[in-house]
Amino acid sequence: MKIFWINHHAKLPEESGGDRHYQLGWRLAHFGFDVSVVRGLNTHSGSLTDEKIINEIKKGGYSLQNRKGCNFLTVDCLPCSKNSNFSRIRNMASFAENVRRILTSGVLGKPDIVIGSVVHTFAAKAGLDVARHFNVPFVYEVRDLWPLTPIELGGYSRLHPFLVYLDHLDRKLARSADLVITTAPLMKEYYKERFGLPDEKFLWITNGTDLELFKNLPQADEEAGKDSFDICYAGAHGLANGLDQVFDKLPAVTRKRPEVRLTLVGDGPLKPRLRERAQKEGLPVCFLEAVPKNELPAILNKADALLAYLEPCRLYRYGISLNKLADYHAMGKPILFIGDCAENPVIQSGAGLVAKHIEEFPSVLNKMIQMTPEERREMGYRGRTYAEEHYDWEKLASKTGAALAKIAKSGTNLQEDSPI
């Protein structure tokens, strides 16, 4: 069975960022599926730097690689400025147009299923167009709710013309799909409430982690003369990640707990300003560059606790699926979670402590520091056990493959008379 899986932001393991489609793709390939992940050369978070890929795209408009049996087709698209919404829209639109043109030309043959994955709806729309071209089933993979995310997290008006268009597009994609895959546990409630879609149209496939990466690491000894309590955050440095709010509370923390140190791993638009602020205010913060996923465990292993933050936002009433939380659980370290959401995995796993609001962060952190090393290790053990049950890519790929096989067998319900 041949699958086209379109995700503008898909990453290979040596590249920093989420590797969901690599992890699912190669496992599905090992199950006997013929998987091609389609991605873009440029995204709002940066551009690929592999010279071989860049040179092949310059010659023919795309580059095709194979990793562990899974194809990765990288297509050209316009570069994107991090500080320009217009530039980002042009980047998304050019990716979608090039995907349509290249895939419908038959360069990868005819698919049996096309999956359009949202980090933006233009990519999913390209998937729907390709599926219609070949008259095969279309699967809509929702990893972000558009336009709800920019409305509730970014503060944009529901009446903004572009967001009205995205809402219309999201409705059409969800209704046209033969299956809707969601990453957060209650996302289906959003579509059921708004569009009246039935339960059986949905499949929940959370973000997972490579359990083997976080296995057999040297045990950090908290009692071997160590005089600091090290917290590590791994992820994006943007407005939604709340690092400014954490910085606001650090002086109150360190006045009572001068041993606290914070390490931030990753990149994002706020990183230069955060670095400048930490230096100016004398905050005990160390900045590390973004690293490939296979280098992350060694960094996390040095920490006493791992930090995650959610901005206060009604969006999270549908739950969350943070890549970092899957990795944190697999790491087997206690988690400090700041924020409020439905179906909180840190509460469900018992793998850490939760501050529902940033104001509670100093007291919750102090509580964790006061715990014995054995109590913190027990939290970490519960996290690892939870990861093995819920975040194992092997199990998630098996569940995905079974659903896709069922859809391919039953055929498509796509309607040619409902253009978008």
pLDDT at 413: 62
pLDDT at 419: 40
* Residue 179 sits in the same domain as residue 220: no
Q: Which residues contact 187 (CB under 8 A, 6 or more apart)?
A: 142, 145, 202, 204, 318, 319
First to last CA, the chain: 28
In a domain, residue 194? The reply is: yes
Question: Model confidence over 22-67: pLDDT tens digits?
Answer: 999 999 999 999 999 999 999 987 899 899 999 999 999 999 999 9
CA separation for the pair 319, 191 (Å, rounded): 14
The answer to whether 306 and 334 are in contact (CB under 8 A) is: yes
pLDDT at 414: 57
Residue 20 has φ and ψ, to the nearest 5°, of -50, -50
| Closest C-alpha to 297, from 13, 9, 12, 23 | 13
* Residue 215 sits in the same domain as residue 203: no
* Residue 260 sits in the same domain as residue 237: yes
pLDDT at 417: 36
In a domain, residue 418? The reply is: no
- Which CATH number characterizes residue 194's domain? 3.40.50.2000
* Residue 247 sits in the same domain as residue 186: no
CA separation for the pair 115, 71 (Å, rounded): 14
| Closest C-alpha to 326, from 207, 183, 203 | 207
* Residue 359 sits in the same domain as residue 260: yes
* Residue 173 sits in the same domain as residue 187: yes
pLDDT at 221: 54
* Residue 247 sits in the same domain as residue 367: yes
* Residue 240 sits in the same domain as residue 128: no
Q: Which residues of the chain have pLDDT under 50?
A: 415-420
* Residue 268 sits in the same domain as residue 311: yes
The answer to whether 112 and 388 are in contact (CB under 8 A) is: no
In a domain, residue 123? The reply is: yes
* Residue 70 sits in the same domain as residue 119: yes
Instruction: Tell me the residue range of the domain where 263 lies.
Output: 211-390
pLDDT at 418: 42
* Residue 401 sits in the same domain as residue 359: no
Domain tally for the chain? 2
* Residue 184 sits in the same domain as residue 323: no
Q: Are strands 113-118 and 138-142 parallel, antiparallel or unpaired?
A: parallel
Cα dist from 98 to 95, 127, 252, whole Å: 5, 12, 51
Question: Model confidence over 161-186: pLDDT tens digits?
Answer: 999 999 999 999 999 999 999 999 99
In a domain, residue 420? The reply is: no
